[in-house]
Copies of this chain bind each other. A is one copy, B any other.
Amino acid sequence: MVVTIKHVAERAGVSAKTVSRVINGEAHVRPDKREAVMRVVRELDYRPNAFARSLSSSRSYLLGLLIDDPASGYAADVQLGALMRCRDKSYHMLIEPIERRDRDWAAALAGTLAMLRLDGAMLTPPLCDDGAVLKVIEDAGLPYVRIAPGGDEDRSGFVRMDDAAAAAEMTRHLIALGHRQIGFIAGDPAHNASAKRYAGFRDAMAEAGLAVDPALVMEGDFSVRSGLALGEALLGRADRPSAVFASNDDMALGVLMIAAKLRLEVPADVAIAGFDDAPTSRAAWPPITTIVQPKAAMAAAAVDILTDPRYRRQPQDPTFRRLLEYRLEIRGSTDPKAFAEA
């Protein structure tokens, strides 16, 4: 037999409504009644039926993580952070893939959102920078928070870090090591972060009075493959740069592989820097110096925003636009000392 609110009410000698009040932590219940209810709840091991609650109220205690490419390393950290915070708040997390390659992805998404009454949705790049996706969610009346969006900052709450500042800090690290000729591999131009990272690089170079050689600036697409191709283009030059800053770790990894192939010592012959702290950046040899994004913390903050009742009413409140700190992680691919220690 499944224990329902009626059983609890009967045994505690109160109405179902009072049990409901206690369960949901509402005020206006006399302490003795509250305790009686709580005792019976424990005795009977009562668990409110999530579906009944969702049907009669407007809340589902269900948050959706909308994903594009679930296999990406990015998603794993974000997911873990969101999941743990959900658990702490008694929410559950649903993962919903959005297949933008399907012709009718928008209708499918709208249908899913209509059937499942999520309390909120979280989106990561590149989905969170896709206006068409955002529109479907907005049309469904679903509150959402973007994690690491590229722009459009007035559109919804978000949690992000300062990509330009981070790229500048990485650039200053390379300059401090004595590098003057620094190659740069930009990311996929469809990602807003790409432009920001490049801007940070340019700013730091200018700040140090160094010229950016246009021949040493390449445009990749965040894939290892593009890192391989552009790494070969950069390191194959007669006047190859002494350092390469790739806009993400996958591309940095491609450059690292090319260096190995060309029998160049890293970091002695060429220093290589990445961005993201992808799992592969640690696994590479030497491990790749990178920018650690607080991905789990960003996701946890997204959950906090979505579960804040004020977010529905005042989505424009600055507390729902959060900027978290990044960290420069120096590893063996740029630092000879780190290399020797490993």
Is B80's CB under 8 angstroms from A71's CB?
Answer: yes
Is A51's CB under 8 angstroms from B47's CB?
Answer: no
Given B51, B52, B97, B256, which contacts A285 in the complex, CB threshold below 8 Å? Answer: B256
Given the complex, which residues of B lie within 8 Å of A283, measured CB to CB?
Answer: 224, 253, 280, 283-284
Given the complex, which residues of B lie within 8 Å of A280, measured CB to CB?
Answer: 279-280, 283
Is A117's CB under 8 angstroms from B51's CB?
Answer: yes
Complex Cα gap A112–B48 (Å): 10
- Chain B residue nearest to A117 (CB atoms) is B51
Copies of this protein, total: 2
A70 at the interface (CB under 8 A from B): yes
- Chain B residue nearest to A72 (CB atoms) is B76
Q: How does the 8 Å CB contact mask read for A125-164 relative to B, with 1 for contact and 0 for none? A: 0000000000000000000000000000000000000000
Given B2, B52, B60, B95, which contacts A83 in the complex, CB threshold below 8 Å? Answer: B95
Identify which of residues 55-79 in chain A touch chain B, using a CB-to-CB cut-off of 8 Å. 55, 60, 70-71, 73, 75-77, 79
Is B96's CB under 8 angstroms from A92's CB?
Answer: yes
- Chain B residue nearest to A113 (CB atoms) is B47
Given the complex, which residues of B lie within 8 Å of A285, measured CB to CB?
Answer: 256-257, 260, 284-285
Complex Cα gap A50–B289 (Å): 47
- Chain B residue nearest to A79 (CB atoms) is B70
Shortest Cβ distance from residue A260 to the other chain B in the assembled complex, whole angstroms = 5
Is A48's CB under 8 angstroms from B115's CB?
Answer: yes
Complex Cα gap A48–B117 (Å): 11
- Chain B residue nearest to A55 (CB atoms) is B51
Given the complex, which residues of B lie within 8 Å of A253, measured CB to CB?
Answer: 283
Complex Cα gap A51–B55 (Å): 6
A189 at the interface (CB under 8 A from B): no
Shortest Cβ distance from residue A173 to the other chain B in the assembled complex, whole angstroms = 23
Interface on chain A toward B: helix, strand, loop, or mixed SS? helix
Given the complex, which residues of B lie within 8 Å of A84, measured CB to CB?
Answer: 97
- Chain B residue nearest to A107 (CB atoms) is B45
- Chain B residue nearest to A3 (CB atoms) is B114
Complex Cα gap A97–B83 (Å): 7
A261 at the interface (CB under 8 A from B): yes
Given the complex, which residues of B lie within 8 Å of A55, measured CB to CB?
Answer: 49, 51-52, 55
A223 at the interface (CB under 8 A from B): no
A29 at the interface (CB under 8 A from B): no
Is A47's CB under 8 angstroms from B95's CB?
Answer: no
Is A83's CB under 8 angstroms from B54's CB?
Answer: no
A336 at the interface (CB under 8 A from B): no
Shortest Cβ distance from residue A298 to the other chain B in the assembled complex, whole angstroms = 15
Complex Cα gap A47–B96 (Å): 17
A246 at the interface (CB under 8 A from B): no
- Chain B residue nearest to A97 (CB atoms) is B83
A236 at the interface (CB under 8 A from B): no
A101 at the interface (CB under 8 A from B): no
- Chain B residue nearest to A260 (CB atoms) is B285
Complex Cα gap A129–B256 (Å): 39
Which 8 A/B pairs are nearest by Cβ-Cβ distance?
Answer: A280-B283, A47-B114, A51-B54, A51-B55, A50-B115, A70-B80, A51-B51, A47-B115
Q: List 11 A-B contacts (CB under 8 A).
A: A49-B115, A51-B55, A73-B279, A75-B76, A257-B285, A257-B342, A261-B342, A280-B280, A283-B284, A284-B285, A285-B285
